[in-house]
Amino acid sequence: MRFLISNRAAISPTTINGIGHGCADQPPKIEGFRKHHMLYPELFRQLESVRWDMERDIPWASFDPAALSDEQATTIKMNAITEWAALPATEMFLRDNRGDSDFSAFMSIWFFEEQKHSLVLMEYLRRFRPDLVPTEAELHNVRFEFDPAPALETLMLHFCGEIRLNHWYRRASEWHTEPVIKSIYTRLSQDEARHGGAYLKYMKRAIQNVGLEAKSAFAKVGVLMASARRTSQALHPTNLHVNKALFPKDTVQSRLPNPDWLEHWLDKQIDFDAVWENKVVERILHNMSLLMERSFGTVQELNKYRKELARELGSALEPGAAGKAA
């Protein structure tokens, strides 16, 4: 699922021109439904056909108590609470996409599957480490209002977040030694990849509907989310500042029982190193190449294209541009 830039002084919504939340001065942009068939029915069928069952498809009977450490179990709790943040994210999506019923309907699928991620992690703890099951208060603490944000930027942000989480969970499955949780993280990683594919369909539709504006928004966020090597923070939606009035307690991660757990999990536990980070960047650049119908081998090439789009969009928005074009 979600967002991440925990050090506001280093990177914040205000320093990246509206990327992320907490930037209410720009009205949300709605992709609209003007030209194309709805995507929701097709996505419903596709995701329904591969949906796993928590009772039948999780190998609960294979649990090996000797293979689960206290350290590992605690990270499962933190991820369960983080996944619960799909609830406020869904509320944000529905609010900021009121003009797009197709995308809003898709949120019913995304929300169901993301909350299921939280639930299966909690079920694992309930069965095998009941002392670590999150309390309702701990879950409710990550439900808070996100400031309005431009819909196109948010869409791209979450697309990149799904790519990143797919890789995090793949690495988590490798790090864990207990077979049941290894299986669960593999299933979650596959879900995140499918969610990214669904977001990509809506991004393609946005380009068909609003063209340059969508391309510019996607390139801007793509540069940010593919530049994690330049920051000390994990770039994912759950670590972004999303409510100015609540700063600094306005990231999902800041509201967890241990706000510092994530970077320790990435750096010291699952060892999400430069090799894995490069895999994330490569997937973002690959998908941006497909989306924009031109090749981006590096973040620098994507950034150059972003600047071209910004100039083109600026020219199109100049007073009298339409008359000049005519």
Q: pLDDT at position 229, please?
A: 62
CA distance 82 to 101: 27
Q: Using pLDDT thresholds of 50, 70 and 90, give the confidence band for residue 313.
A: confident
Q: Using pLDDT thresholds of 50, 70 and 90, give the confidence band for residue 320.
A: low
Poorest-pLDDT segment among 29-43, 153-167, 202-216, 298-312: 29-43
DSSP secondary structure letters along 265-311 = IIIIIS---HHHHHHHHHHHHHHHHHHHTS---SHHHHHHHHHHHHH
Q: Stretch 1-29: mean pLDDT, rounded?
A: 36
Q: Stretch 5-27: mean pLDDT, rounded?
A: 36
Asked if pLDDT for residue 298 goes beyond 80, the answer is yes
- How does pLDDT run across 18-35, given as a tens digit for each residue? 333 444 344 444 444 455
Give the number of other CB atoms < 10 A from CB of residue 273.
Answer: 11
Poorest-pLDDT segment among 1-10, 138-147, 285-294: 1-10
Asked if pLDDT for residue 109 goes beyond 80, the answer is yes
Count helices and strands in the chain by DSSP H and E runs? 12, 0
Q: Using pLDDT thresholds of 50, 70 and 90, give the confidence band for residue 236.
A: confident
Q: What domains lie within the chain, and their CATH numbers?
A: 21-56+68-317 (1.10.620)
The predicted model scores a pTM of 0.86
Q: Using pLDDT thresholds of 50, 70 and 90, give the confidence band for residue 3.
A: very low
Q: pLDDT at position 319, please?
A: 61
Q: pLDDT at position 154, please?
A: 95
Q: pLDDT at position 314, please?
A: 84
- How does pLDDT run across 88-102, given as a tens digit for each residue? 999 999 999 999 999
C-alpha dist (Å) from residue 241 to 156, 163, 211 = 16, 20, 28
Q: Stretch 28-47: mean pLDDT, rounded?
A: 75
CA distance 134 to 84: 10
Asked if pLDDT for residue 292 goes beyond 90, the answer is yes
Q: pLDDT at position 42, please?
A: 97
Asked if pLDDT for residue 260 goes beyond 90, the answer is yes
- How does pLDDT run across 114-162, given as a tens digit for each residue? 999 999 999 999 999 999 999 999 999 999 999 999 999 999 999 999 9
- How does pLDDT run across 166-180, given as a tens digit for each residue? 999 999 999 999 999
Q: Stretch 105-115: mean pLDDT, rounded?
A: 98
For the CA atoms of 216, 192, 47, 217, the dihedral, rounded to the nearest 10 degrees, stands at -10
Q: pLDDT at position 315, please?
A: 81
Greater confidence (229 vs 159) lies with 159
Q: Stretch 55-75: mean pLDDT, rounded?
A: 98
